[in-house]
Amino acid sequence: IIESIYTIFVAISILACVPQVLQLLRVKQSTEFELRTWTIWLVSQTISTIYFFEIKAYLVAIFAIGWSLFYLAMVALIIYYRYRPGSETLAPVRVPTCSGEDFLNKNTP
């Protein structure tokens, strides 16, 4: 019974990631995503997949492939939308606050 529960919930978890990929495809920009984090997750999941096959944990390995594909899609889209030719790179914006120098300095636009 635990194998069935595991299968159902991991499959649901992977499918729950689809809206994240679709949103990235819709907005066509990835500045809010940390590329290093997603890359680390991709590498970690890929290594886990290899390990699961080595220990013959095939059910877990199949789901690890699913997670790896999700992370691969996210990394590819983050890179594509961040570095594609002709894309605008957004520079950080300095936002005035109600405290500190910005508030006291009347010359701040």
Q: Is the pLDDT of residue 104 over 80?
A: no
Rounded Cα distance between 68 and 5, Å, is 21
Which element (helix H / strand E) includes 45?
A: helix 35-54
pLDDT at 89: 55
Q: How many whole angstroms separate alpha carbon 109 and alpha carbon 38?
A: 37
Please give the pLDDT value at position 14.
93
pLDDT of 35 higher than 90: yes
Tokens of 100: 């500190």
* Domain residue spans of the chain: 30-83
| In the predicted structure, residue 90 carries a pLDDT above the cut 60 | no
The pLDDT assigned to 92 comes to: 47
Q: Which two tokens stand for residue 26?
A: 């819709």
Distance CA 21, CA 74 (A): 7
How many residues belong to the chain? 109
pTM above 0.85, yes or no: no
